[in-house]
């Protein structure tokens, strides 16, 4: 079977698609999953470059989320059955033995490819909007709205009943953000502060969802509403920003950093509850993950290049 390995830190162009042995029978508490679809994301590129907060040891299998079908049960597993469709963090590999307790069952009615595409992005967006205490009727400004975590925030923000402003540097991508429900669209290649102020009657945005950082964060600080909250989602610009505390003081504003890994590490019950909610929303089509590209596992380098070139809207998956 095939697996995609990072054998040296640096570029995604050095990834290797290897033929490896299939796993044996699962041990006690484990199940064997045949993965049908794999989601990749920007944070994978950070790991491949060697710049992630917690680095796996070389060589490691790239990717994170995936969706597949259980083909074998290990001793003691009673919560799943052969043929169940599940989400797993197995990475870009065709079969894997994994602890049953780490799996999430995909409900009937949920598309397998959509399930593989949504877990990390939607869990990140949902947790962030919980941390920001987004309220119905508030204005949510989503930067990088056409990216994976950005488009998820637009989708969930509308479900919350917020007024959503989506920003991107591409009119073509913004058209898709609009189809996902954003109320207002801003091409921020020429800035966004004045447009946000105009759309909000001069007050600014109540919650700002920022996976970009750098100059985008700096400008966001100049269009945040009184008592507003800025969510630090990531730094796709390459520069973490520095918050000016005098600006926060004047606006009674908050900067909230959060990490999905910490939620599962320190409050796993809430993490599991969030995932059950998201799966329910997925199966009832209250959220609709957007997949812009589907490629074969052997095209993994091309898939990551699409992320580097910022050609992905929502998600790219490997099948």
Q: Do 230 and 145 fall within a single domain?
A: yes
pLDDT band at 236 (very low <50, low <70, confident <90, very high): confident
Domain containing 75 — which CATH number? Answer: 3.90.180.10
Cis peptide bond N-terminal to 59, omega within 30: yes
Q: Which of 261, 279, 310 is the last residue of a domain?
A: 261
Q: Does the residue 66 lie in any domain? A: yes
Q: Do 101 and 135 fall within a single domain?
A: no
Is residue 109 over pLDDT 80?
no
pLDDT score recorded for residue 42: 83
Q: Do 46 and 174 fall within a single domain?
A: no
pLDDT band at 89 (very low <50, low <70, confident <90, very high): confident
8 A C-beta contact, residue 129 and residue 141: no
What six digits make up the tokens of 61? 């299998």
8 A C-beta contact, residue 233 and residue 241: no
Mean per-residue pLDDT, 234-248? 86
What per-residue string of b and e applies to 111-138 under the rule 16 or more CB within 10 Å gives b? Answer: bbbbbbbbbbbbbbbbbbbebbebeeeb
Q: Does the residue 268 lie in any domain? A: no
Q: Do 250 and 165 fall within a single domain?
A: yes
State the total domains in the chain. 2
Residue 194: which domain range?
123-261
pLDDT score recorded for residue 167: 97
pLDDT band at 21 (very low <50, low <70, confident <90, very high): very high
Domain containing 144 — which CATH number? Answer: 3.40.50.720
């Amino acid at each position: 079977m095939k697996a995609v390995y990072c054998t040296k830190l640096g570029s995604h162009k050095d990834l290797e698609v290897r033929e490896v042995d299939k796993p044996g029978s699962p041990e006690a508490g484990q199940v064997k999953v045949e993965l049908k679809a794999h989601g990749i994301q920007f944070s994978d590129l950070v790991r491949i470059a060697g710049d992630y907060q917690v680095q796996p040891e070389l060589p490691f299998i790239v990717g994170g989320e995936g969706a597949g079908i259980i083909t074998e049960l290990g001793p003691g597993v009673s919560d799943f059955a052969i043929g169940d469709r599940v989400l797993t963090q197995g990475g870009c590999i065709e079969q894997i033995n994994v602890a049953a307790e780490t799996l999430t069952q995909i409900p009937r009615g949920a598309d397998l490819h959509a399930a593989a595409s949504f877990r990390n992005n939607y869990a990140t967006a949902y947790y962030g909007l919980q941390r920001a205490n987004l309220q119905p009727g508030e204005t949510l400004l989503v930067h990088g709205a056409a990216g994976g975590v950005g488009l998820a925030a637009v989708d969930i923000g509308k479900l919350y009943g917020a007024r959503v402003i989506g920003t991107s540097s591409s009119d073509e991508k913004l058209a898709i953000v609009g189809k996902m429900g954003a109320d207002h669209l801003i091409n921020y290649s020429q800035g966004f502060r004045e447009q946000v102020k105009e759309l909000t009657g001069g007050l600014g945005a109540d919650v700002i969802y920022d996976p970009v950082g750098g100059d985008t964060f700096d400008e966001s600080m100049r269009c945040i509403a009184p008592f507003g909250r800025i969510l630090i989602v990531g730094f796709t610009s390459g520069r973490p920003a520095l918050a000016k505390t005098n600006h926060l003081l004047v606006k009674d504003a908050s900067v909230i950093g959060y990490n999905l890994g910490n939620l599962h590490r320190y409050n796993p019950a809430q993490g599991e509850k969030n995932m059950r909610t998201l799966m329910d929303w997925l199966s009832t089509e209250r959220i609709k993950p957007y997949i812009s590209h589907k490629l074969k596992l052997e095209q993994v380098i091309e898939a990551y290049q699409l992320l580097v070139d910022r050609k992905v809207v929502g998600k790219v998956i490997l099948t």
